[in-house]
Amino acid sequence: MCGIAGIVALRDGLPPPDLRDLEAMVLAQRHRGPDEFGLYRDRRAGLGHARLSIIDLASGQQPLANEDETLWVVFNGEIFNYVELRAELVSRGHRFRTRSDTEVIVHAYEAWGDDAFARFNGQFAIALWDAAGETLVLARDRLGVRPLYLCEHGGRLWFASEVKALFAGAPSIPRAFDPAGLAETFTFWTVVPPQSVFEGITELEPGHVRRVSRDHSEDRAFWTPRYPTGDASGFSGPIEEAVERVRAALEGAVRLRMLRADVPVGSYLSGGLDSSLVAALGRRVKGDKFCTFSIRFEDAEYDETPYQRAVAALIESEHRDIVVRREDIAAEFPAVVAHAERPLLRTAPAPLFLLSRLVRDSGIKVVLTGEGADEMFAGYDLFREGKVRRFWGRQPASTLRPRLLERLYPYLARSPVAQRAMAREFFGRGRDRPDVPGFSHQTRWSSAAALHRLFTPELRDRVRRLDVVERLLSALPPEFRGWSPLAQDQYLEVRTLLSGYLLSSQGDRMLMAHSVEGRFPFLDSDVVELANSLPASFKLMVLDEKHALKRAAEGLVPPEVLRRPKQPYRAPDAMSFVGPRAPEWAADLMSERAVASAGVFDPRAVERLWRKCQVSGGGEQFSNADNMAVVGVLSTGLLHEQLLARAPGRGTGLEFRTVVDRIGEHPAVASGSGATRGV
Partner 1 sequence: MTIEQRLRQFIIENFYVTDPAEVQDDTLLVTAGFIDSTGMLEVIAFLEEEFGIQVADHETTPENLESVARMAAFVTRKRAGSSPPGGVEAVG
Selected range binding partner 1 among 87-95, 109-117, 414-422, 587-595, rule: CB under 8 A: 414-422
Selected range binding partner 1 among 109-117, 301-309, 443-451, 500-508, rule: CB under 8 A: 443-451
* Rounded distance between C-alpha atoms, residue 66 and residue 43, angstroms: 19
Tell me the number of residues near partner 1 by CB under 8 A. 44
Backbone angles phi, psi at 628, to 5 degrees: -65, -40
* Rounded distance between C-alpha atoms, residue 258 and residue 252, angstroms: 10
The whole-angstrom distance between residue 209's C-alpha and the CA centroid of its chain comes to 18
* Rounded distance between C-alpha atoms, residue 663 and residue 42, angstroms: 5
Closer residue to partner 1, CB minimum distance, 413 or 645 = 413
Query: By CB under 8 A, is residue 429 in contact with partner 1?
Result: yes
Selected range binding partner 1 among 221-229, 404-412, 562-570, 634-642, rule: CB under 8 A: 404-412
Least spacing, CB of residue 384 vs partner 1, in Å: 17
Least spacing, CB of residue 578 vs partner 1, in Å: 15
Query: By CB under 8 A, is residue 417 in contact with partner 1?
Result: yes
Which amino acid appears at position 87 of this protein? A
Inter-CA distances, 556 with 169, 272, 538, Å = 49, 13, 20
* Rounded distance between C-alpha atoms, residue 19 and residue 35, angstroms: 20
Contact 7, 157 (CB under 8 A): yes
Q: Which of 456, 484, 537, 591 binds partner 1 (CB under 8 A)?
A: 456
Q: Which of 59, 233, 395, 419 binds partner 1 (CB under 8 A)?
A: 419
Closer residue to partner 1, CB minimum distance, 366 or 574 = 574
Query: By CB under 8 A, is residue 398 in contact with partner 1?
Result: no
| Residues contacting 284, CB < 8 A, separation 6+ | none
How many beta carbons lie within 10 A of that of residue 152, not counting itself? Answer: 16
Q: Which of 261, 323, 358, 450 binds partner 1 (CB under 8 A)?
A: 450
CA atoms within 13 A on the CB side of 332: 22
Query: By CB under 8 A, is residue 395 in contact with partner 1?
Result: no
Closer residue to partner 1, CB minimum distance, 413 or 436 = 413
Query: By CB under 8 A, is residue 609 in contact with partner 1?
Result: yes
Query: By CB under 8 A, is residue 188 in contact with partner 1?
Result: no
Closer residue to partner 1, CB minimum distance, 33 or 393 = 393
Please state whether beta strands 291-297 and 318-324 pair in parallel, antiparallel, or not at all (unpaired): parallel
Query: By CB under 8 A, is residue 407 in contact with partner 1?
Result: no
Closer residue to partner 1, CB minimum distance, 450 or 654 = 450
Contact 600, 459 (CB under 8 A): yes
Closer residue to partner 1, CB minimum distance, 106 or 182 = 182
Say whether 151 is catalytic: no
The b/e string for 627-660 (b: 16+ C-beta within 10 A; e otherwise) is bbbbbbbbbbbbbbbebbeeebebeeebebbbbb
Contact 496, 205 (CB under 8 A): no
Q: Which of 189, 290, 622, 656 binds partner 1 (CB under 8 A)?
A: 622
Residues 36-95 that bind partner 1 (CB under 8 A): none
Closer residue to partner 1, CB minimum distance, 309 or 612 = 612
Q: Which of 300, 421, 647, 669 binds partner 1 (CB under 8 A)?
A: 421
Q: Which of 213, 224, 305, 446 binds partner 1 (CB under 8 A)?
A: 446
Under DSSP, the state recorded for 677 is B
Query: By CB under 8 A, is residue 570 in contact with partner 1?
Result: no
Q: Which of 97, 214, 453, 464 binds partner 1 (CB under 8 A)?
A: 453
Q: Which of 248, 259, 413, 668 binds partner 1 (CB under 8 A)?
A: 413
Q: Which of 289, 433, 593, 604 binds partner 1 (CB under 8 A)?
A: 604
Closer residue to partner 1, CB minimum distance, 226 or 420 = 420
Contact 560, 307 (CB under 8 A): yes
Q: Which of 390, 444, 460, 471 binds partner 1 (CB under 8 A)?
A: 460
Q: Which of 629, 638, 643, 660 binds partner 1 (CB under 8 A)?
A: 629
**Could you write out the DSSP letters of every residue in 175-200?**
--B-HHHHHHHHHHSS--TT--SBTT
Query: By CB under 8 A, is residue 466 in contact with partner 1?
Result: no
Closer residue to partner 1, CB minimum distance, 131 or 448 = 448
Residue 253 exposed, middle or buried by CB count within 10 Å (0-12, 13-18, 19+):
buried
* Rounded distance between C-alpha atoms, residue 230 and residue 61, angstroms: 48
* Rounded distance between C-alpha atoms, residue 498 and residue 145, angstroms: 9
Backbone angles phi, psi at 132, to 5 degrees: -70, -45
Q: Which of 290, 353, 455, 656 binds partner 1 (CB under 8 A)?
A: 455
Active-site annotation, residues: 2
* Binding interface with partner 1 (CB under 8 A): 399, 402-403, 405-406, 412-413, 416-426, 429, 446-447, 449-450, 453-457, 460, 602, 604-606, 608-609, 611-612, 621-626, 629
